[in-house]
Amino acid sequence: MMIDTLLNVITNTRLKLLLKSDTITCEAYNQFTTIDLVFNSEKIQFMTRKCKIQIDLHQRLNHLSIITELCLQTISVQLSTWWLWKKMNTEALSAYLQIHLSLKRFLDDKTMMNDRVCKIIRVLQKIIEKFIFLTKSLNWVRDFWNQSCFEVVMKSRWLQIIWKTQDTLEAWNEYLKHNDHKNKIIWQTKCAHFRTQMHELSEALKSIWRFAKWARIESQLLKKLSQFSSLKRSNIDHMTTTFEEKIKILQRKFFSSSSQANVSDIAESFIFLTVSFNSRITEDEVKQTIRQIKADKVLSASDISNRALQASLAELTSVLTSLFNACIIHKYHSKQFKKTQTIVLHKSKKSDYINSKMYRLIALLNIMSKALKLIMIKRLSDIAETHCMLSNAQMRVRRKWFMISTLNLLVDQVHTVWDCEIKYVIFMLSLNIIETFNWVSHVRFLHTLKMKRTSSYIIEWTRSFLENQETSLIFNE
């Protein structure tokens, strides 16, 4: 009955037998059969390149392995690569910089500043290619794999070849015995590696929260394909599937041109007295700022890591200090610093990723631009705190203003109102300043800095920083 059903299916669907009719597919104790069959349909009939027995493939059954090759129009996936920053040759790196980074200290105009930035980036990229190793990610490589795992696997393969060659019961039993031993060694090594990782995570306070998040969210989920979902702006709009349409939706969502603010109340002719500002950046300030940035942050388009800058601070400090001072004196932010990359990531714990609101952005900045920006932020923060430019109601991004103190102040104010004889209803308005930065009117923002008596060096450099910013959206399609 089963054979008749199989023959009817083969006839109705027009299947074709790929293996030859006399191909031996099972060998056991000097008995040979042709029980295994391989068929293909009409659609893939012309795509089949070969179908045959592959003896050297690993298997524990009596059935021989069958390999089938199809000629398909596939897209080759490039393996991800990364630099081994921790294995860099710091001595050779410093020696190379001393020879090839002998630059002029003084910069007279904006063109020279842009050329200086390009020169530094080219030299750093050259030493990265010359003194830092590049590795590739392989799907079959595991962190727990060691020399013992490699040895037992190679011996198992060798015993399999002996069994295929001699075809004796003794060779078969020896192969099965060692194959069980191989699985035991790999399992023990994997468990030991897992226990070591769990111990390190439990000892490190910073990593325990990341481990808890993984156990709560990601550990029970299957690995998803890194493919960007179809998008639509609202429930009324149609679904977009093409690359160009997705780009337009993301551009409207995150980089839409804000409406022009009413700036008619700004008095252009009014002259404000500014507070004192030291425009000179010191070498110690540059060193301290670069060392504060995390060493292994995600790389920008220039592929320059902060670890490379930290390893070559002795040679780069004077060059970067002269460059940053020229930016402040000429009130100019280099156009190379304005080129960024923006990665589109989906927010966690969302049921549907069709709406563009379910995504967030991460900007990858040039590492030298990040250092200059941090220096200017620190100086502007010092001026604002010293001269009382900030409102007492602003709690976030202020030194020595902690969240616990903010909550205690809020609770005390609520209880003070409640203790009054007249009962009042309490309302609280909380504004997230950072989220609205991309839509702030530049004219009013610069005017506010001027009203706060900020130095013209900071105002004009900020104007140059805000103008003509360029970014590239990155997401998996």
Q: pLDDT of 118-158, one tens digit each?
A: 888 888 888 887 777 766 655 555 678 888 888 898 898 88
Highest mean pLDDT among 30-39, 401-410, 452-461: 452-461
Instruction: Report d(CA 175, CA 100) in Å as an integer.
Output: 60
Instruction: Report d(CA 109, CA 329) in Å as an integer.
Output: 10
The more confident residue out of 413 and 436 is 413
CA torsion sign for 407, 413, 414, 416 is positive
Cβ burial, residue 128 (10 Å; 0-12/13-18/19+): buried
Cβ burial, residue 408 (10 Å; 0-12/13-18/19+): exposed
Identify whether residues 17 and 62 lie together within a single domain.
yes
189, 218, 247 - which closes a domain? 218
**Domain count for the chain:** 3
Give the mean model confidence (pLDDT) for residues 18-47: 77
Identify whether residues 92 and 171 lie together within a single domain.
no
pLDDT of residue 73: 66
Identify whether residues 400 and 469 lie together within a single domain.
yes
User: Which DSSP string corresponds to 157-211?
Assistant: HHHHHHHHHH--HHHHHHHHHHHHHHHHHHHHHHHHHHHHHHHHHHH-HHHHHHH
Does residue 392 form part of some domain? Answer: yes
Q: 167 Cβ partners below 8 Å, 6+ apart?
A: 27
Identify whether residues 213 and 129 lie together within a single domain.
no
> What does the block give as tokens for 49?
């390149």
Instruction: Report d(CA 139, CA 223) in Å as an integer.
Output: 14
Identify whether residues 241 and 302 lie together within a single domain.
yes
Claim: this prediction has a pTM higher than 0.75: no
Identify whether residues 85 and 55 lie together within a single domain.
no
Does residue 226 form part of some domain? Answer: no
218, 249, 268 - which closes a domain? 218
> Domain range holding 161?
147-218
The 3-state DSSP class for residue 125 equals helix
pLDDT digits (tens, 9 = 90+) for 75-94: 665 666 666 777 777 788 88
pLDDT of residue 60: 60
Identify whether residues 271 and 362 lie together within a single domain.
yes
Q: Which residues of 337-375 are buried (b: 16+ CB within 10 A; e: fewer)?
A: bbbbbbebeeeeeeeeeebbeebebeebbbbbbbbbbbb
Does residue 75 form part of some domain? Answer: no
Identify whether residues 180 and 295 lie together within a single domain.
no
The more confident residue out of 28 and 324 is 324
Instruction: Report d(CA 13, CA 375) in Å as an integer.
Output: 72
Closest CA to 372 of 324, 322, 300, 308: 324
Instruction: Report d(CA 334, CA 114) in Å as an integer.
Output: 6
pLDDT of residue 185: 92
335, pLDDT greater than 70: yes
Identify whether residues 254 and 160 lie together within a single domain.
no
Does residue 258 form part of some domain? Answer: yes
Contact present, 250 and 473 (Cβ < 8 Å): yes
Give residue 212's identity as a one-letter amino acid code.
A
pLDDT digits (tens, 9 = 90+) for 167-205: 888 888 898 999 899 999 999 998 998 888 888 877 776
Give the mean model confidence (pLDDT) for residues 360-378: 88
170, 190, 218 - which closes a domain? 218
Question: What percent of the chain is modeled with pLDDT above 90?
Answer: 5
Identify whether residues 304 and 440 lie together within a single domain.
yes
pLDDT of residue 267: 67
Give residue 386's Cα distance to chain centre.
38
Contact present, 338 and 470 (Cβ < 8 Å): yes
Give the mean model confidence (pLDDT) for residues 288-293: 89
pLDDT of residue 45: 72
Identify whether residues 162 and 115 lie together within a single domain.
no
pLDDT of residue 76: 62
